[in-house]
Amino acid sequence: MNLPAGIALPNDAPAAGTCVKIERPEAGLALVRLDPPHRKMPVFDLALMRDFALALDELEADKGLRAVVIAGREPLTFVAGADVDVIASITDRALARELGRFGELLFDRVARLSVPTVAAVGGPVPGGACELALAARWIVLADDKRSRIGLPEVRLGILPGWGGSQRLPRRIGTPAALEAILTGRLYGPREALKLGLVDRLAAPENLVRIASDLALGREMPRSFKKPLPARIVDSNSLARSFVERQVRTKLERETHGHYPAPFAALELVLRATSTPLEQGLEAEADALATLAISPECKSLVTLFRLSEEAKKTKFLADGSEGKRLARIGVIGAGVMGAGIARLAAEKGVTARLSDVARAPLDAALHVHRKEVGRQLAKRRVQKHEADAALDRLELTEGLVGFDRCDLVVEAVVERLDVKQKVLGELARRMADDALLATNTSSLSVDSIAEGLPHPERVVGMHFFNPVAQMPLVEVVRGKRTADWAVAAVAKLALELGKTPVICADVPGFLVNRLLGPYLDEAARLFVAGVDPEHIDSLARDFGMPMGPLELLDEVGFDVAAHAAESLAAAYGPRMHSAKLIHDALAAGLKGKKGGAGFYLHALDPKTKKAKRGAVNPAMARFVAPGKRTIDYGEATILDQLFLTMLNEAARCLEEGVVAGPRELDLASVFGMGFAPFRGGLLRWADTLGAKDALARLRRIAGAPDVLARPEGAARFQPAMLLQTMAEHGGRFHG
């Protein structure tokens, strides 16, 4: 079985036969170990696929073979899916299809072996690794919190293309397969067992032994029966049509038509149980070929690679890792502080939460217990893990015990004197090498560190709200912040499941600095008479998770006004904001937290959360009087929203706020929700071209309504970097 002709092995690929080892632990049993010497964490690259095909040649020719177990080099090291570098490099549809068919046929050979086959897997088992496991007769998963199995391909803009879209519905039923594939979820051991995705759990040290017993018949497999609703959907075309309508409506609402992969996966999964396997595999290969070369796939794969690159921020220049911060303190039990402490406790880090009042501490503990209980009910954690997570959250109304913390994050009121006082008191109590972190969103890290002993250990650790959901943490390096402090905080962010991006200590850091003019332009469009729902719907259609006016409601007018004042004080005329938010605040409007902003917000009796309603008629008083003289078309609105953001991004690169365009794109997506299918703010700009972006900016800068504003000319004056790129045909990304 030859590799696809259009893809060549790299020159440094290991010799044939070295990536897969066949062991013979007892008569008739073949233990196939995937153990490529050239990778710390194996992936299905061309070398591994080549050698797996060679191993299957040997197994198929073995007349004395009684059973096969497929395992990794260690119980918690199997294969981390397909090689994303190969996916990123393919631009030819025929070649993409050939690679998909190669994987399908390779794994189909496993399914067609005449003897029992068992996949003994553990640790990360995503994508192609899961598809290989699905081709085996039974799957045994290591019972360890590090084990995660599933099919996350839609997150990369593709679909399971090596048989997963066909084998998973046959195994667990169409409804559960749709949930697994369309969400791209990775399941923990207990969830996977309940779902029927795996047949048996085993302690890591017993993984291969139990898999061998199962393969040789010394242990009987667990009997799994699909739920009745799944059996009805699998066998009834009318039921499948009903499911399709429901799921398609949901996808259209969530994706706004920007992500083709979920829709392609929906069609394949729905037809899997009523289609012969080989026909289904052919259709799967066709769909994969189209998706793999799509711009959406290339953008999402790029973001995945950027998030993997961000993991390197925990390393120092000499290659060593930053120190682990096993015990942290958090000062301030408000929304942000409580969220940080709860997240740390859930992720295995002991967190001591302090506040001057008891009520917010009790509220934080209540939410923590509720969330841990929810995870326990869903079998995402075991009882002893849930108990440990509860024990790791410690509460106090003082600073007792903070001297034992490796790091303390302050999340108190946004006042410089208050933050300096809090950190000064902590500095007197804590070890000289204990880190002092601030969650400030608007104050200077250097200013906060002024006068503190050992200012090299003061660093910004800026989380975004809501803490549990937002994936980005800005790690802010002050002028005196030490490299070891930055690496340690980045490592902590990764341990908490966040993506760190290192930023310079400038007002607004990166994300809030980019958001400022974007939100202000939306407010000015509203004052000019543009319907708020129209503004927000255009932004959502562009790919943003919510519109800018919805976001202002979510953030709160008080927070938005404070941030706007800070940016204006730092950057001058181009950041001067409209009076709208201040006027609305003076009129008693606060946004979602007060029940009314641009929209009305009412408490949903079922979810107990505020739900957005109609446009708030009270905001009409802030619309400029008289007949509107400017015709704001859709293109003009989008340009005013996003080109002002792009212009500020170019200035951030000029100033070295982040290391480069890749980091800025990652932060734009993970911190503000910039359309992922566009690959980030600067990758989108590259699709426009610098000349086009420059011409549009100049056109806006010359518009009468913009010229009439105090900040208009400055805000839309093109950054020098954009002008240089336009002159020389440059791009942000190469």
Active site residues: 462
Exposed (0-12), middle (13-18) or buried (19+): which is 725, by Cβ within 10 Å? buried
Buried b (16+ CB within 10 A) or exposed e, 445-479: bbebbeebebbbbbbbbbbbeebeebebbbbbbbe
Other beta carbons less than 10 A from residue 630's beta carbon? 14
CA 372 – CA 615 distance, rounded (Å)? 36
Q: Which residues contact 441 (CB under 8 A, 6 or more apart)?
A: 414, 462, 508, 509, 512, 563
Residue (of 230, 143, 141, 111) closest to 180 by Cα position: 230
Lookup: tokens for 691: 């000349």
Label each residue of 224-262 as H, E or C: CCCCHHHHHHHHCHHHHHHHHHHHHHHHHHHHCCCCHHH
| H or E stretch covering 26 | strand 20-26
Lookup: tokens for 61: 């020719």
Q: Where do we find the tokens 């299918």? A: 677
DSSP 3-state helix, strand, coil percentages of the chain (rounded to 5)?
55, 15, 35
Cβ(483)–Cβ(446) below 8 Å? no
Sign (positive or negative) of CA dihedral 300, 155, 151, 274 = negative
Cβ(297)–Cβ(679) below 8 Å? no
| H or E stretch covering 119 | strand 117-121
Exposed (0-12), middle (13-18) or buried (19+): which is 586, by Cβ within 10 Å? exposed
Cβ(43)–Cβ(88) below 8 Å? no
Measure Cα distances from 366 to 282, 338, 342, 361, 369 in Å: 52, 11, 10, 9, 5
